[in-house]
Amino acid sequence: MSVLEKISSEEIISLENKYGAHNYHPLPVVLSRGEGVYVWDVEGKKYYDFLSAYSAVNQGHCHPKIIGAMVQQAQTLTLTSRAFYNDKLGVYEEYITKYFGFDKVLPMNTGAEAVETALKLCRKWAYEKKGIHENEAQIIVCDGNFHGRTTTIISFSNDENARKNFGPYTAGFIKIPYDDIEALENVLKSSKNIAGFLVEPIQGEAGVYTPAEDYLAKAKALCEANNVLFIADEVQTGIARTGSILAVCGNCTCENACEKQSTYVAPDILILGKALSGGAYPVSAVLANDHIMNVIKPGQHGSTFGGNPIAGAVAIAALDVVNDENLSQNARRLGKIFREKIGEFVKTSNITTLVRGKGLLNAIVINDTEESDTAWNICMALRDNGLLAKPTHGNIIRFAPPLVMNEEQLLDCISIIINTLKQFEK
């Protein structure tokens, strides 16, 4: 332990370089501790976390209630596989289905696995309920999508980095522009073999693209009219991030997803991950009603770790925290302040062109090309000034702090961001 304690950031980075696959390009900061909205590097420097592990740590780092539930369950029973029942899964399944207003849940571990599950579920439903001929089902996806990294999912990505030299690709997907109702209408008209429409309510990885106010409701209505499943990938937008429990809840800030709200756009299949565990453990979920979920029978899909007792205990605690601490309301209120203050700066600035987002999922666009390293350099300067964020797509910086942030901390962060951006004014 004494050897490990002395290891420096530089040494750890060189270890990763030498022994780890180079499938990421991290900002050079080595973190060893987290609490709430803060993280500390191995040298003891403290930072605001403005990425929240891509919105997995919405409840804040090492939330005592979530960690408490995890430790207690880890000391009791960790894994049985689904060959046997465990005493947590059913309790968790009742909890999460009531929370999000669905008949059933299929538990998985990562976001990509949950997306895969949703795609398989959609296809099986199409053959067995809708009556599409075998192997002919098509699923509509959007340009600029991010749904994970499996072979099937990257098959319908337009990110060359994610796709190139990983073929042959999985067939059965049609890509249309995002936030384009006419394109959706046309493709639905063009074929009888459409099974589903997979969409992110806000495109996070693409750079926090928020669609037109009525896009999701119109898309859902079109799907319904054509007997096509509306599949919402809320792995990043869900669990209070955008100022409501789900982004499909629209303007409702109550802490449950429900049909009672006129702004609620009910997905036929809902995909959750990331903050479902508050970042403590890989937990993902696919939710649907019986007429869809019941097409999957024993032996047809599964995962050794999916639905394990630690996952169940952690997810219940993580969702409880969202309620107990009013995280949706907080995200909504602080998000407004953030866009207002940063927006004022953007008006007077020539280094940024705009700020956009919803709740505490926001981004600024840097006034430079996608190929430039300006956004990267700004993130390095933010790091030096005590705030961690990462560029997405070259010239866009995403800002997504833990939702347990308070107003005073947010104002502190806003002044760090503005002062840093000022160093880059042209």
Q: Which residues sit at the interface with ligand PLP, rule CB under 6 A? A: 54, 110-112, 115, 146-148, 200, 204-205, 233, 235-236, 273-274
Round to whole Å and give the CA distance between 267 and 214. 15
Q: Cβ closer to ligand PLP: 37 or 276?
A: 276
Catalytic residue among 274, 341, 358, 390: 274
Q: Left, alpha or beta for 294 (phi > 0: left; psi -120 to 50: alpha)? A: alpha
Amino acid at 389: A
Please identify, using beta-carbon distances, which residue of 110 and 253 lies nearer to ligand PLP.
Answer: 110
DSSP β-bridge partners for residue 140: 174, 197
Which residue's CB is nearer to ligand PLP, number 60 or number 282? 282
Q: Using CA atoms, how far apart are residues 198 and 122, in angstroms rounded to an integer? A: 10
**Minimum CB distance to ligand PLP smaller for 20 or for 299:** 20
Q: What is the nearest approach in angstroms of ligand PLP to the Cβ of residue 358?
A: 14
Given 146, 230, 399, 424, which residue is catalytic? 146
What are the φ/ψ torsions at residue 110 (nearest 5 degrees)?
-105, 165
Q: Which of 41, 49, 179, 233 is catalytic?
A: 233
Tokens at 194, concatenated:
């459409």
Nearer to ligand PLP by C-beta: 36 or 204? 204
**269: exposed, middle or buried (C-beta count within 10 Å: 0-12, 13-18, 19+)?**
buried
The encoded tokens of residue 219 equal: 């898309």
Task: Give 308 or 374: the residue with its C-beta nearer to ligand PLP.
Answer: 308
Short-list 105, 78, 102, CA closest to 90: 105
Which has the closest alpha carbon to 343: 362, 327, 368?
362
* Minimum distance, C-beta of residue 281 to ligand PLP, in the bound complex (Å): 12
233 catalytically annotated: yes
Asked if the bond preceding 401 is cis, omega within 30° of 0, the reply is no
* Whole-number CA gyration radius for the chain: 22
Shorter beta-carbon distance to ligand PLP: residue 176 or 239: 239
C-alpha closest to that of 107 among 319, 323, 315: 315
DSSP 282-302: --EEEEE-HHHHTT--TTSS-
Cα-based angle 361, 400, 418 (whole degrees, multiple of 5): 100
State the nearest-atom distance from the C-beta of 157 to ligand PLP, in Å.
11
CA distance between the termini of the chain: 48
DSSP letter (8 states) at residue 212: P
Q: Which residue's C-beta sits nearest to ligand PLP?
A: 111
Q: In angstroms, what is the minimal distance from the CB of 227 to ligand PLP?
A: 25
At 423 the three-state DSSP class reads coil
CA 414 – CA 405 distance, rounded (Å): 12
Tell me the closest approach of the beta carbon of residue 235 to ligand PLP, in angstroms: 4
Q: Quote the least distance from Cβ 121 to ligand PLP, whole Å.
A: 16
Q: Which C-beta is closer to ligand PLP: that of 73 or that of 110? A: 110
Return the structure tokens found at 294: 């019941």
228, 265 in Cβ contact below 8 A?
Answer: no
Please report how close the Cβ of residue 234 comes to ligand PLP at its closest, in angstroms.
7
Euclidean distance between CA atoms 176 and 188, whole angstroms: 11
d(CA 208, CA 396): 9
Provide the minimum distance between the beta carbon of 25 and ligand PLP in the complex, in angstroms, as a whole number. 16
Active site positions, annotated: 146, 233, 274
